[in-house]
Structure 1
Amino acid sequence: MQRVEIQKNDDKWKKGQKRRADILNAAMNILAHDGYGELTMRRIAKDTGISLGHLQYHFPNKKSIIHKLLKEYLDQAMQKIQERSSCKENSPEDQLETALNVSFAEQHSKEACQIIYELWALSTRDREAAEALKSFYEQYCTIVAGFLQHMNPSLCKETVQKRSALIVAMLEGLSLYHLWENSTLPSMTDLEGEFKQVVKSFMLSS
């Protein structure tokens, strides 16, 4: 599970930034292990080791924490995908496989999957959360579209967009299989290998 990173400002660590990062990491841990229902201001303050008033100084309410947490989590997830799949020395096929492997690695983390499930549920009742997820998946589709365009330049823009959206949807849907242990379904290793082959065939077909 990724953690909220502390950002530097003029080469100096700021105490306030560290405290906010600690708060967000505590909230993320609660969300991953106990779910949204247990995510209260008092619980976050307790797990961070600060008073409720101190917490409210940084974040006035739970909604403000959730929105910041969502933005930080999705921004870092997108940055990880972009950084690890953008090596210009690699072919588009290799870049695509790297991007898929990054996503698979996240899906092997139960905590990371739980956070995504909670964020999906939250987006059904919170407009700002829904917009953040929409922006994330639009960026994700754009990255996949870039791979697809390089691998199969004969495809028109509309087809590229449709296939990219389908690939991202299938990839995210694959994370649901981590909910079921000891099932009769194929292993995740087998599914991931087959998924790569399906995606490559899908991308190269006319």
Structure 2
Amino acid sequence: MAQERKAHVVRSSQERRAEIVEAAFLCLQEYGYAKLTARKIAEHSNISLGHITYHFKDMKEVLVETYRYASLTLFEATQRDLGRSSKSPIEQLRVFLGTGFSKAFLKRDYLRVRIDLWSAALAYDEIATVERELYESYRSQLSELLRNVAVDRQIGPDAVTPLADTIMATLDGLWLDWERRHDEAAIQNGLDGCIALVNATPPAR
């Protein structure tokens, strides 16, 4: 009996782009952005070099979309955690801050990609633009949660921006400190410090 042929799967352009981005994400974990090439992505996946060059105009575009992919992974995890948490504004804030420092996002492979893409943003305007866009999106979510806490605690709205500035800077520092020391207690201290700062903000007069 003739062997059955495997069905030929026809993927859309969007699906192909997603496959390439996921493969690029894995390659970044191994090589870093400076050594990432279309050929390396092709070699470490079932994607042909022709598909990569057809769906992306250059490697900068691949890096931009990979940055979006890495950030989307964190965004989706955050939304899931928020959906499962208490609806208390301060607890929602605590969960929002904590998700980015859960074990899945403190793995060296994931962290290397994030830091590498931050570095790439210094070299390429296109990546810098999307990095800024993603930063503003994350900060916007943080500010909304802080506004909810402000209403709940009767804190003046003028406190939201200084709190957001301080917390965002703290989070960036915690990422880098983790890469240096891998100290879980230090991470928790930093996150607790952010919450303590919010709790210490006095009500509006």
TM-score tier (shorter) = 0.7 to 0.9
CA offsets 1:131-186 (integer angstroms, 9 cap, x no match): 212122222222222222232334444431121122022112211123235xxxxx
How many angstroms apart in 1 are the aligned matches of 2:18 and 2:177?
Answer: 31
Give the CA deviation at 1:31: 0.9
User: Hey, which bits of structure 1, 4+ residues long, moved more than 6 A?
Assistant: none
Contact 2:178/2:187 (8 A) holds in 1: no
Residue identity opposite 1:98 in structure 2: V
The structure-2 alpha-carbon separation of the partners of 1:202 and 1:46, relative to structure 1 and needing over 3 Å to count, comes to: same
The structure-2 alpha-carbon separation of the partners of 1:197 and 1:63, relative to structure 1 and needing over 3 Å to count, comes to: closer
**Partner in structure 1 of residue 162 of structure 2:** 162
How many angstroms apart in 2 are the aligned matches of 1:79 and 1:51?
Answer: 29
Contact 1:35/1:118 (8 A) holds in 2: yes
**Partner in structure 2 of residue 9 of structure 1:** none
The structure-2 alpha-carbon separation of the partners of 1:139 and 1:18, relative to structure 1 and needing over 3 Å to count, comes to: closer
Give the CA deviation at 1:45: 1.6
Aligned ranges 1:1-206 → 2 under 5 Å: 15-16=11-12, 17-86=14-83, 89-105=86-102, 106-153=104-151, 154-181=154-181, 188-204=183-199, 205-206=201-202
How many angstroms apart in 2 are the aligned matches of 1:135 and 1:160?
Answer: 20
**Partner in structure 2 of residue 4 of structure 1:** none
Q: Secondary structure at the match of 1:129?
A: helix
CA offsets 1:67-108 (integer angstroms, 9 cap, x no match): 222223223422332342256852012111211221111542
Q: Secondary structure at the match of 2:47?
A: coil
Structure 1: gaps of 5 or more residues: 1-12, 182-186
Residue identity opposite 1:27 in structure 2: A
Largest Rg, 1 or 2: 2
Q: Secondary structure at the match of 2:186?
A: helix
Contact 1:92/1:147 (8 A) holds in 2: yes
**Partner in structure 1 of residue 4 of structure 2:** none
Structure 2: gaps of 5 or more residues: 1-8
Residue identity opposite 2:75 in structure 1: M
Contact 1:22/1:48 (8 A) holds in 2: no
How many angstroms apart in 2 are the aligned matches of 1:157 and 1:128?
Answer: 34
How many angstroms apart in 2 are the aligned matches of 1:55 and 1:87?
Answer: 38
The count of residues paired between Structure 1 and Structure 2 equals: 189
RMSD over aligned Cα atoms? 2.3
Q: Percent identity?
A: 24
